[in-house]
Structure 1
Amino acid sequence: MRKSLLLVAAAALALGAGPALAKKQLVIVVKGLDNPFFEAINQGCQKWNSENASSEYECFYTGPASTSDEAGEAQIVQDMLGKADTAAIAISPSNAKLIAQTIKTANPSVPVMTLDADLAAEDAALRKTYLGTDNYLMGFKIGEYIKKGKPNGGTICTIEGNTGADNILRRAQGMRDALTGQKGLAALKGEGGWTEVAGCPVFTNDDGAKGVQAMTDILAANPKLDAFGIMGGWPLFGAPQPYRDLFGPYKEKIASNEFVIGAADTIGDEVAIAGEGLVTALVGQRPFEMGYKAPSVMINLIEGKPVEDPVFTGLDECTKDTVSTCIQK
Structure 2
Amino acid sequence: MKKLATIISTVLLGSTMSVSAHAKDTMAIVVSTLNNPFFVSMKEGAEAKAKELGYNLIVLDSQNDPSKELSNVEDLTVRGVKAILINPTDSDAVSNAIRLANRSHIPVLTLDRGANHGKVVSHIASDNVAGGEMAGKYIMEKVGQKAKVIQLEGIAGTSAARERGKGFMNVVKKDHMDLLASQPADFDRTKGLNVMENLMAAHPDVQAVFAQNDEMALGALRAVQASGKKVLIVGFDGTKDGIAAVKRGKLGATIAQQPDLIGALGVETADKVLKGQSVDKSIPVPLKIITK
What band does the TM-score fall into relative to the shorter chain?
0.7 to 0.9
- 1:76 is aligned, of 54, 72, 81, to 72
Matched, 1:117 2:113: yes
How far apart, CA to CA, are the structure 1 residues paired with 2:232 and 2:222?
17
Aligned equivalent of 2:210, options 229, 239, 249 = 229
The residue identity in structure 1 corresponding to 2:133 is F
Alpha-carbon displacement from aligned partner over 1:18-55 (angstroms, at most 9, x marks no partner) = 773233332211111211111111111221233234xx
In angstroms, what is the RMSD of aligned CA positions? 2.6
Structure number with the higher helix fraction is 2
Q: Which residue of 2 aligns with 1:247?
A: 224
The 10-residue stretch of structure 1 (168-177 or 85-94) with the greater mean CA deviation from structure 2: 85-94
1:91 matched to 2:86? The reply is yes
The structural deviation recorded for 1:223 is 0.7
Which residue does 2:193 correspond to in 1? 212
Q: CA deviation at 1:126?
A: 2.0
CA distance in 2, matches of 1:98, 1:215: 28
Stretches of structure 1 that go unaligned for 5 or more consecutive residues are 182-191, 254-258, 321-329
Instruction: Give the partner amino acid of 1:216.
Output: E
Give, in whole Å, the separation in 1 of the partners of 2:93 and 2:191: 24
> Which deviations, in whole Å up to 9, do the C-alpha atoms of 1:257-301 show, x marking residues without a partner?
xx3222102213211111121211111111111122212211222
Aligned to 1:156: 149
CA drift of 1:206 comes to 2.3
After TM superposition, the score normalised by the length of structure 1 is: 0.78
The answer as to whether partners of 2:149 and 2:207 remain within 8 angstroms in 1 is yes
Contact 2:187 2:212 in 1 (8 A): no
TM-fit CA distance, 1:8 = 5.0
Identify the residue that residue 234 of structure 2 maps to in structure 1. 262
Which residue of the partner structure matches residue 285 of structure 2? 313
Verify: 1:37 aligned to 2:38, yes or no. yes
Task: Determine if contact 1:219/1:225 at 8 Å carries over to the other structure.
Answer: yes
Cα separation, 2, equivalents of 1:11 and 1:89? 33
Question: In the alignment, is residue 196 of structure 1 matched against residue 168 of structure 2?
Answer: no
**Residue of structure 2 in register with 1:167 after alignment:** 160
Alignment-mate amino acid for residue 222 of structure 1:
H
Structure 2: any 5+ residue segments left out of the alignment?
none
Residue deviations 1:243-263, cap 9 Å, x none?
55433478994xxxxx32221
For residues 172 and 220 of structure 2, what CA distance do their matches in structure 1 show? 25
* TM superposition shift of 1:212: 1.2
* CA positional deviation for 1:304: 2.8
Between stretches 219-228 and 308-317, larger displacement belongs to 308-317
Distance of 1:126 and 1:19 partners within structure 2 = 32
1:301 corresponds to: 273
Residues in 2 aligned to 1:142 and 1:51: alpha-carbon distance in whole angstroms: 35
Q: Matched residues in 1 for 2:83 and 2:36: separation?
A: 23
Moved more, 301-310 or 139-148: 301-310
Per the alignment, do residues 229 and 304 of structure 1 end up closer, same or farther by CA in structure 2, a change over 3 Å counting? same
- Over 3 Å counting, the alpha-carbon distance change for 1:223 and 1:113 in structure 2 is same
For the 8 Å contact 2:28–2:85, the answer to whether it is kept is yes
Q: 1:251 to 1:307 in 2, by over 3 A?
A: farther
Q: Could you tell me how far apart the structure 1 residues matched to 2:32 and 2:142 are?
A: 33
Alignment match, 2:23: 23
Corresponding residue to 2:58 among 57, 60, 66: 60
Residue 153 of structure 1 aligns to a residue whose secondary structure is coil
Structure 1 residues 151 and 299: CA distance shift in structure 2, 3 A: same
Structure 1 position 74, deviation (Å): 3.0
What is the count of residue pairs matched by the alignment?
288
8 Å contact 1:45–1:60 — kept in the other structure?
A: no
Q: Structure 2: how far apart are the matches of 1:104 and 1:13?
A: 36
